[in-house]
């Protein structure tokens, strides 16, 4: 069999099965879902009319809102570019996502599945709305561009051009409307997840450790282990993952806590008063580089600043936290407030995970935060995997983020996006009685599209620069 005949058979097979191949692009088109679309389009005519009319109103508002949102995002990006440090980037509502740069490789599956689901629901909205407005649906398909998946519907253009602008708006706005509703559903599921999983998992008891980075400060014989339940960071209670993050931030942004120590223990210090400065200006009084002894600073009625080298675990194991000596004057035994003498920005943090002995963490609080993976859901039965709620939470969050982003971006009045057709239909529906010449209406639409396209392109270009260059 010749190579040309093999090529012809291969191309014939691709064509007969709806596949189209081109550089960096694979597309599959089929009509097998047309009956499903038709059934959905005729389920409840009255409800669907109200549903897609509401979607039309939402789409028009989203079209103008997306311009405001992109303008605000662009101004935020420009202000960050001019600043010396890129602080505040997490406050942006819209951010460019680059896999492997600001998107963890371990979460790529969530990312691509959420994109595909969002795209399918988007196109499902277009297809059902079109059939409801008596526009023929030729087929449905999915594609892969480079590594990004997507979906599309093939509508009969002649039918689409014959219906009124308001009917066109219902069809063009249906995609962003369904993306918005997908956000609402995913967000509702996320908020109701503790109730949905209540028969199998309980919450409010602490933060369950699901992973500890090997070699990190949180690992080791007296560190955290898979299955440990963290209930407290110093005096900050931990009822769930959000409390964990809040406590770490609180300890990071506030001065190091002190510990109430009985004065009798200070007599055990072998280097009281012998202190020297580190390079950063902080004080050290344990000169033997011991892993168990720690330098503490304190004051008494005679001297304002003294230092003592004490065994850290024995010293603070059952001690209350304090800021000044006054906080320790509740016992009959005389006590002083000892504050660990640490390098700048580092902290000594007691992590309580009963029934195990407290973990003593020394270092930057952010290292503690990112060296441990946790979940708020604790399995009721041993065979239940602790990662299942985490997977559901993560997927819902990606679905909310990406479906919302797809709604915003598609609503922008930009060439080749839904916003182009939404704007055209909107102008035809509102200006046809005011501006009689169609060419003039098209000219107005062209300038709006030009501005929207430039705004979106600027956001993408500067967003990519912020992600990759900073």
Please state, in angstroms and rounded to a whole number, the distance separating the CA atoms of residues 118 and 111.
11
The label of the residue with tokens 């979940």 reads 375
Pairing of strands 293-298, 236-237: unpaired
The 3-state secondary structure of the chain reads CCHHHHHHHHHHHHHHCCEEEECCEEEEEECCCHHHHHHHHCCCHHHHHHHHHHHHHHHHHHHHHHHHHHHHHHHHHHHHHHCCCCCCHHHCCCCCCCECCCECHHHHHHHHHHHHHHHHHHHHHHHHHHHHCCCCEEEEEEEEECCEEEEEEEECHHHHHHCCHHHHHHHHHHHHHHHHHHHHHHHHHHHHHHHHCCCCEECCCCEEEEEECCCCCCCCCCCCCCCCEECEECCEECCCHHHHHHHHHHHHHCCCCEEEEEHHHHCCCCCCCCCEECCCCCEECCCCCCCCEEEEEECCCCCCCEEEEEEHHHHHCCCCEECCHHHHCCCCCCEEEEEECCCCCCEEEEEECCCCCCEEEEECHHHHHHCEEEECCEECCCCCCCHHHHHHHHHHHHHHHHHHHHHHHHHCCCCCCHHHHHHHHHHHHHHCCCCCCHHHHHHHHHHHHHHHHHHHHHHHHHHHHHHHHC
Q: What is the pTM of this model?
A: 0.85
The distance between the two most distant Cα atoms of the chain, rounded to a whole number of Å, is 102
26-28-29-33 Cα dihedral, nearest 10 degrees: -150
The pLDDT of residue 328: 87
Report, as residue numbers or ranges, the catalytic residues. Answer: 123
The pLDDT of residue 145: 87
The pLDDT of residue 385: 92
DSSP state for residue 311 in the 8-state scheme: E
Q: Residue 407: in which H helix or E strand, if any?
A: helix 387-411
With a cut of 70, list the residues of the chain below it in pLDDT.
1-2, 84-92, 267-274, 280-281, 287-289, 302-303, 331, 470
- Asked whether the beta carbons of 407 and 62 are under 8 A apart, the reply is yes
Please state, in angstroms and rounded to a whole number, the distance separating the CA atoms of residues 286 and 275.
8
pLDDT in tens, 28-74: 999 999 999 999 999 999 999 999 999 999 999 999 999 999 999 99
């Amino acid at each position: 069999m010749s190579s040309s005949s093999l090529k012809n058979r291969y191309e014939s097979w691709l064509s007969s099965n709806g596949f189209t191949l081109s550089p960096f692009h694979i597309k599959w088109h089929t009509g097998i879902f047309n009956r499903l679309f038709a059934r959905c389009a005729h389920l409840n005519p009255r409800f669907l009319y109200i549903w897609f009319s509401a979607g039309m109103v939402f789409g028009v508002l989203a079209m103008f809102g997306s311009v405001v949102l992109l303008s605000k995002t662009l101004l935020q990006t420009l202000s960050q570019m001019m600043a010396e440090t890129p602080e505040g980037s997490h406050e942006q509502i819209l951010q460019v996502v680059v896999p492997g740069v600001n998107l963890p490789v371990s979460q790529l599956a969530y990312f691509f599945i959420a994109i595909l689901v969002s795209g399918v629901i988007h196109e499902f909205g277009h297809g059902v709305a079109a059939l409801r407005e008596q526009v023929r649906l030729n087929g449905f398909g999915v594609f892969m561009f480079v590594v990004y998946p997507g979906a599309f519907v093939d509508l009969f253009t002649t039918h689409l051009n014959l219906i009124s602008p308001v009917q066109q708006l219902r069809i063009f706005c249906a995609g962003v409307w369904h993306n918005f509703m997908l956000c609402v559903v995913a967000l509702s599921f996320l908020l109701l997840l503790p109730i949905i999983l209540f028969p199998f998992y309980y919450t409010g008891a602490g933060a369950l450790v699901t992973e500890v980075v090997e070699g990190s400060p949180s690992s080791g014989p007296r560190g955290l282990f898979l299955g440990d339940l963290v209930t407290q960071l110093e005096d900050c209670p931990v009822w769930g993952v959000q409390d964990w993050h809040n406590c770490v931030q609180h300890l990071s942004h506030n001065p190091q806590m002190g510990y109430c120590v009985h004065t009798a223990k200070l007599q055990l210090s072998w280097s009281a008063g012998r202190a020297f400065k580190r390079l950063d200006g902080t004080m050290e009084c344990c000169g033997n580089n011991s892993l168990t002894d720690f330098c503490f600073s304190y004051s008494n009625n005679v001297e304002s600043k003294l230092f003592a080298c004490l065994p850290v675990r024995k010293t603070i194991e059952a001690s209350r936290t304090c800021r000044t000596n006054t906080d320790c004057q509740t016992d009959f035994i005389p006590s002083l407030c000892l504050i660990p003498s640490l390098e700048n920005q580092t902290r000594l943090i007691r992590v309580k995970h009963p029934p195990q002995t407290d973990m003593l963490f020394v270092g930057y609080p952010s290292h503690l935060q990112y060296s441990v993976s946790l979940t708020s859901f604790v399995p009721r039965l041993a065979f239940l995997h602790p990662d299942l709620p985490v997977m559901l939470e993560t997927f819902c969050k990606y679905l909310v983020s990406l479906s919302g982003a797809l709604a915003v971006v598609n609503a922008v009045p930009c060439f080749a996006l839904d916003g182009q057709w939404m704007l055209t239909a909107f102008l035809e529906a509102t200006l046809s009685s005011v501006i009689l010449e169609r060419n003039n209406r098209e000219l107005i639409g062209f300038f709006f599209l030009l501005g929207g396209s430039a705004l979106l392109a600027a956001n993408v270009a500067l967003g990519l620069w912020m992600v990759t260059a900073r």
